[in-house]
Amino acid sequence: MERSSICYSYPAMPRTLDPEFRQALAARIRFYNEMGIYDFYRRPSAEDVAPDEIGTAVATNHTQSGEEMSPRRSAAVATPVLAEDNIFEVIAPKPEQSVSDPVKALKIIREDLGDCTRCVLHKQGRKQIVFGVGNPKADLMFVGEGPGADEDTQGEPFVGRAGQLLNNMIKAMGLEREQVYIANIVKCRPPGNRTPEREECETCSPFLMRQIAVVKPKVIVALGAVAAKTLLAMNASMMQLRGRFYEFRPAGARSNDPNWDGCKLAVTYHPAFLLRDPRQKGEAWKDLQMVMTELGLKTPKANA
């Protein structure tokens, strides 16, 4: 199976920083940490973007199956800074990293999120923040786009019609909903169920990245284009994104975590899209079978 290592192609920080600059930078980062901000990004220049990995994907942003997301503002993908000598990682450990119990660690992230007002979604009619649900030590994690009306009311991801289909997909894999972890790219309902804006995704997804780093799943399934493109920080059609695994390490995860090397990420259609176009269910099932094989789950025999 073809594998990619796109998430390891981060541009390196300069090896040695001027001590005065380093001190000023450390003070600034401490200031941000005190405000609950732990993830830092820089927009790479055109030379930073590997042409075979991201450049071609950006260039071929053709619409496919109604599962598209608006193109990135530029080829400048929001790239997590994860060099070996990453100053940010050294001086900005996240509070949950000192806790071994994943339930407690997730609680810390939830508390950090607070009554979030970091993006405009907080003032556009959300009833509550929809954090995530499921097994805090799950091998398998599903990531959707954002809460809809039912999720906004109940405070739990994927509880409406799309959620029922997701439950059936999980069952078809031989699992129970309680065995997996389910979350979204944005934690507040976009008004009228519109697609979340890039800025909303970029503001909210660091919290999801922290949830992923705590749960440490073996496989993440990105449901739909918004989840796939945000998690992979690349712009491509669903047709290009599906059918393979990507090596994935969430931005900000410790690169020296002895218990976790990152995980694999697969892309499939969003259940809401499958409700609109049930003919694609067979394709989604192929994606899930690929995931089942990776997880060592029994797949149904062909023609059985």
Residue closer to ligand URA, measured from CB, 6 or 201: 201
- Burial string for 247-275 (b: 16+ CB within 10 Å, else e) reads ebbbbbbbeeeeebebbbbbbbbbbbbbe
Of 118-126, 145-153, 169-177, 256-264: span binding ligand URA (CB under 6 A):
145-153
Q: Of the candidates 121, 241, 272, 288, which one interacts with ligand URA according to CB under 6 A?
A: 272
Q: Rounded to an integer, what distance in angstroms lies between the CA atom of residue 59 and that of residue 51?
A: 10
Residue closer to ligand URA, measured from CB, 148 or 250: 148
Interaction between residue 148 and ligand URA (CB under 6 A): yes
Q: Rounded to an integer, what distance in angstroms lies between the CA atom of residue 138 and that of residue 182?
A: 10
Q: How many residues bind ligand URA (CB under 6 A)?
A: 13
Residue closer to ligand URA, measured from CB, 144 or 262: 144
Q: Using DSSP, state whether 208 is helix, strand or coil.
A: helix
Interaction between residue 140 and ligand URA (CB under 6 A): no
Q: How far is the CB of 138 from ligand URA (least distance, A)?
A: 16
Tell me which DSSP letter residue 75 carries: S
Q: How far is the CB of 162 from ligand URA (least distance, A)?
A: 4
Interaction between residue 144 and ligand URA (CB under 6 A): yes
3-state helix, strand and coil shares in percent for the chain, rounded to the nearest 5: 45, 10, 45
Q: How far is the CB of 130 from ligand URA (least distance, A)?
A: 6
Residue nearest to ligand URA (CB): 144
Provide the β-strand partners of residue 183.
Answer: 143
Q: How far is the CB of 103 from ligand URA (least distance, A)?
A: 21
- Burial string for 141-151 (b: 16+ CB within 10 Å, else e) reads bbbbbbbbebb
> Residue 184: which of 125, 234, 132 has the closest Cα?
132
Q: How far is the CB of 224 from ligand URA (least distance, A)?
A: 7
Interaction between residue 68 and ligand URA (CB under 6 A): no
Q: Rounded to an integer, what distance in angstroms lies between the CA atom of residue 196 and that of residue 125?
A: 14
Q: Of the candidates 80, 102, 132, 146, which one interacts with ligand URA according to CB under 6 A?
A: 146
Q: How far is the CB of 141 from ligand URA (least distance, A)?
A: 13
Q: In this structure, are residues 210 and 187 in contact, taking their beta carbons and an 8 Å threshold? A: no
Q: Find the DSSP H helices in the chain.
A: 19-34, 56-59, 87-91, 102-113, 149-154, 161-172, 198-215, 225-232, 238-241, 271-276, 281-295
∠ CA(259), CA(265), CA(270), 5° rounding?
A: 135
Q: How far is the CB of 147 from ligand URA (least distance, A)?
A: 5
Q: Of the candidates 97, 135, 184, 205, which one interacts with ligand URA according to CB under 6 A?
A: 184
Q: Of the candidates 39, 68, 145, 200, which one interacts with ligand URA according to CB under 6 A?
A: 145
Length of the chain: 304
Of 31-39, 93-101, 140-148, 211-219: span binding ligand URA (CB under 6 A):
140-148
Considering only residues 150 through 169, tell me which ones interact with ligand URA, judged by CB under 6 A: 151, 157-158, 160, 162-163
Q: In this structure, are residues 139 and 218 in contact, taking their beta carbons and an 8 Å threshold? A: yes
Residues that bind ligand URA (CB under 6 A): 144-148, 151, 157-158, 160, 162-163, 184, 272
